[in-house]
Structure 1
Amino acid sequence: MAYQFQHPNSGTKVFFVGNYLPRNCGIATFTYDLSHAVEEEIGKGSYRVVAMNNTPDGYDYPEQVSFEIHQNR
């Protein structure tokens, strides 16, 4: 049985909080893959990312990352 995702309106946004590429981490890769799969279902620009940093300088994130949290603070 196929499931068709239905969202209430076109303004719906999904936020992912976690590690994100280019951070070299399995969770970062998972979050990246999941966010792109969601984008394919509900449209371009439908999600934003809050990325966790493990370095003081952070990373050169793509535009989908709208906020960064420094872990261990």
Structure 2
Amino acid sequence: MKQKFYVYNILLTNGEYLENIRVEGPLEDHFPGVSVSLFSVENIEGKTIVLSVFHIVKADLISIEES
């Protein structure tokens, strides 16, 4: 079965705009409830970033990749 990676541009509450953030599966699947608020993602250069659901203002889906 092929893995699907979703690529987002994400705006954070501090005004920082993260581009081309790759997430395995849809972003909303990583925040099933209040107990899960942090998770790691990769930017296009492969750098790991830890995001918090409470700091995401907007996430625009750019593309879906299969590998």
Q: TM-score, normalised by structure 1?
A: 0.29
**Structure (1 or 2) with the greater helix fraction:** 1
Between Structure 1 and Structure 2, the one with more strand by share is: 2
Which one scores higher on RCO, CA 8 angstroms, separation ≥ 6? 2
Q: TM-score, normalised by structure 2?
A: 0.30
Q: Give the number of the structure whose alpha-carbon radius of gyration is greater.
A: 1
